[in-house]
Amino acid sequence: MNRRAIHIAVPSQARVVMVLVALAVIAGLSVSSSPSAQGATVPSQSIQADWDHAAPVPSGQPHSEPAHLLPTIGPHISGATETAESTNWSGYIATGSDFTAVSAQWVVPTVQPSEASQFSSTWIGIDGATNTSLIQAGTEQDTSDGATTYYAWYELLPALSIPVEYVSPGDVMKVSIVENSPGTWSIVIADLTSEQTVSGSVAYNTPQTSAEWIEEAPSSASRQHLTLADFGTVQFSDLAVSGSNNGAGVLSPVDMVDASDRVISSPGAISNDSFSIAYDGEAPTLASTTTSVAVSPTSVPLGGSVTYSATVASASGEPTGTVSFASGSKVLCVTGQLVNGTASCTSSSAPGGIDAITATYSGDSNFAGSSSTTNLQVDASGPTSAQTTSGHGYWLVGSDGGIFTFGSAQFYGSTGSLDLQRPVVGMTPTGNRGGYWLVASDGGIFSFGNAGYFGSIPGLGIAPAGASATAKKLNAPVVGMVPSSDDGGYFMVASDGGVFAFGDARFEGSCPGIGGCSGPAVAVVPDASGNGYWLVTATGNVYTFGDASYYGAPGQQNSPVTSAVRTADGKGYWILFANGTVDAYGDATNLGAPVGQTGGLNPASAIFVTSDGAGYWVSTASGAVYNYGDAPNDGSMDGEQLNGAIISATGF
């Protein structure tokens, strides 16, 4: 989601002179940042993180925007009649100049689970009220598919938000943003309830003409407004702001209004450096739609090109949004935005046989989604679409399912254009590298190229972790996957150490089956025989199942484990920590590590090995790639604007 800058007109009657509270200097932060190419993109950062939960959070989905303030004051259902109005922000905005720090404390609000997708962001920030720059940090409360997700994040517009970890409703958060020197800022996000903290430094140039305490209806990556979730009431306290030239700053309340100019979120009066924001909206009513689908041609050989077309209609107007086409859980392609209700895309990845092609309309803020199905005949005796890839290469995958290829790695498709119910958490290629699988945190599988589909957790009727009123649901979210030794199946691992085997993958045990493991699981690594695997946890423990041999483990360290990979012969493994440290066990050799260049808000997220086992790469959340041994440097996404943090990578 995109958090947008606010569009507001503030009447003079609504303004009050604010007493600016000096904010104490926050010291002791580790700083390692590079300047932004545009002055407003996320550079490399160094953050000291104490959160040790390994489960990924849905980064790259809701995002802030500058305030969308309205030029006139319209009729209200509730709220002060002399309060400024915005379509995406509610709270308080301090305007002036040279703002250098802002902080506040709040309680994470509770959002009741809903089948409909609804979102809310609670944050503090500097700028965005009178310009399009914005540095901010806060918490997200998003619900869809009967479950609500809560997490902390920070964001530097125009780059997208970077989630840092899960939080819980009712947690007391303390957040501050402080300019240490011109263009260098420290961010501290503390969960006072769980006693966990993330802190660090970022480079960002911004006008510094406003400071904010906001509840926001964020936007999607395509900048479409998202439906505000019913967050009840959120209480801000310990408000503080400072700067060299804002002692006479102006503090203004802002109501959030919907498309009909009805107030849906409004702040109360400030008292003792505290105020509350209340949800005033009603459940949205979306207009119904119908979707029709067509394929051309209707019969092709395996690997043949097919154009998929859809028409979306509604009696209430013209829908916007996109359409995805899939065969089972295999996404074939995704259209661009509808034009006059129609859209199409072309793909050559349909599997062999008689495929039931489902076109799914995403819906938008006014129109409900819909779908329809048609058949496509694919002759499986035709030419195969994938051959063994030679040379070196690698794939990086973002939490939105966006795929980035380097070297000889081929692109076979992605979920980057889909509105996913759950974030992508892992990727793995087939043995001949002619395809790959993506897995989401609910255990949903997306197969591309020659990757076969062998089932998924939703396909078993099991709901995501945290889903309400469901008889069968995951105890913990899925955090990764690997294929079986012959590509005839795959394993998934959840953060509680639960292992799920599909196809010919052999289940040999799991953490719940042995009474639990120490720390949340981050990886499952198959041995060379296909009859065993290692399960690795964030706390540095390694558990063996089947015929996998134990070669050692680091145990608890100052930084959590984020990834692991075996050697080519299966007689050793490497373990990667968020701070870039690499530990080698068995016949694995330590070839180097990006210590001091990763960690905190930009953790090392994946380690992946060359085919001959004589080299490896380490990738980070920002898309940086570090190469060691005979692993070549084929490029990276570092410095590029991503829709989601890089959460997995693999190569050859």
Tell me the pLDDT tens digit for each residue of 342-372. Answer: 998 887 778 888 888 999 997 876 788 899 9
Percent of the chain with pLDDT over 70: 82
Rounded to an integer, what distance in angstroms lies between the CA atom of residue 295 and that of residue 494?
37
Q: Where in the chain is the domain with CATH 2.60.40.10?
A: 290-379
Predicted confidence at residue 125, as pLDDT, reads 96
Average pLDDT on 132-155 reads 89
Query: Cβ(412)–Cβ(436) under 8 Å?
Result: yes
Q: Of 79-93, 403-417, 555-569, where does mean pLDDT reach its minimum?
A: 79-93
Residue 78 has pLDDT above 50, yes or no: no
| Residue 554 confidence class, pLDDT cut points 50, 70, 90 | very high
More confident residue, 609 or 530: 609
Token pair belonging to 367: 């129109």
Predicted confidence at residue 600, as pLDDT, reads 78
> How many residues would you count in the chain?
652
Residue 313 has pLDDT above 70, yes or no: yes
Average pLDDT on 415-421 reads 70
Q: Of 46-50, 458-462, 493-497, where does mean pLDDT reach its minimum?
A: 46-50
The mean of the pLDDT values for the chain is: 80
Given the DSSP bridges, would you call strands 615-620 and 604-609 parallel, antiparallel or unpaired?
Answer: antiparallel
Predicted confidence at residue 55, as pLDDT, reads 35
55-69, 283-297, 592-606: which is most confident: 592-606
Q: Where in the chain is the domain with CATH 2.130.10.10?
A: 393-651
Given the DSSP bridges, would you call strands 572-577 and 582-586 parallel, antiparallel or unpaired?
Answer: antiparallel
171-185, 333-347, 434-448: which is most confident: 171-185
Digit-coded pLDDT (tens) for 608-642: 999 888 999 999 999 999 999 999 999 999 888 88
Average pLDDT on 333-346 reads 85
Average pLDDT on 427-451 reads 85
Percent of the chain with pLDDT over 90: 37
| Residue 491 confidence class, pLDDT cut points 50, 70, 90 | confident
Residue 588 has pLDDT above 50, yes or no: yes
Rounded to an integer, what distance in angstroms lies between the CA atom of residue 106 and that of residue 445?
37
Element (H, E) at 73: none
Digit-coded pLDDT (tens) for 241-251: 987 665 556 88
Predicted confidence at residue 171, as pLDDT, reads 92
CATH topology of domain 290-379: Immunoglobulin-like (2.60.40)
Query: How many other C-beta atoms can be found within 10 angstroms of the C-beta atom of residue 41?
Result: 18
Predicted confidence at residue 4, as pLDDT, reads 42
Given the DSSP bridges, would you call strands 290-296 and 306-313 parallel, antiparallel or unpaired?
Answer: antiparallel
Where are the extended beta strands (E) located within 511-569? 521-526, 532-537, 542-546, 561-566
Predicted confidence at residue 419, as pLDDT, reads 67
Predicted confidence at residue 284, as pLDDT, reads 58
DSSP at 380: T
Dihedrals phi, psi of 14, to nearest 5 degrees = -85, -5
More confident residue, 415 or 201: 201
Query: How many other C-beta atoms can be found within 10 angstroms of the C-beta atom of residue 405?
Result: 16
Phi-psi sector, 42: left (phi>0), alpha (psi -120 to 50), beta: beta
CATH no., domain 3-279: 2.60.120.700
Q: Of 7-11, 399-403, 420-424, 458-462, where does mean pLDDT reach its minimum?
A: 7-11
Average pLDDT on 66-72 reads 55
Predicted confidence at residue 245, as pLDDT, reads 61
Predicted confidence at residue 291, as pLDDT, reads 95
Helix (H, G, I), strand (E, B), or coil: what is residue 488? coil
Alpha-carbon separation of residue 279 from 70, 153, 175, 283 (angstroms): 19, 22, 22, 11
Digit-coded pLDDT (tens) for 15-59: 223 333 333 222 222 222 222 222 232 333 333 333 333 333 343
57-61, 320-324, 516-520: which is most confident: 516-520
Please state the pTM of the whole predicted model: 0.53
Residue 91 has pLDDT above 50, yes or no: yes
- Of the candidate CATH numbers 2.160.10.10, 2.60.120.330, 3.40.50.300, 2.130.10.10, the domain formed by 393-651 belongs to 2.130.10.10
Average pLDDT on 287-312 reads 89
DSSP at 392: -
More confident residue, 106 or 385: 106
Residue 191 has pLDDT above 60, yes or no: yes
Average pLDDT on 392-411 reads 89
Residue 133 has pLDDT above 90, yes or no: yes
| Residue 248: exposure state from Cβ atoms within 10 A (0-12, 13-18, ≥19) | exposed
Q: Where in the chain is the domain with CATH 2.60.120.700?
A: 3-279
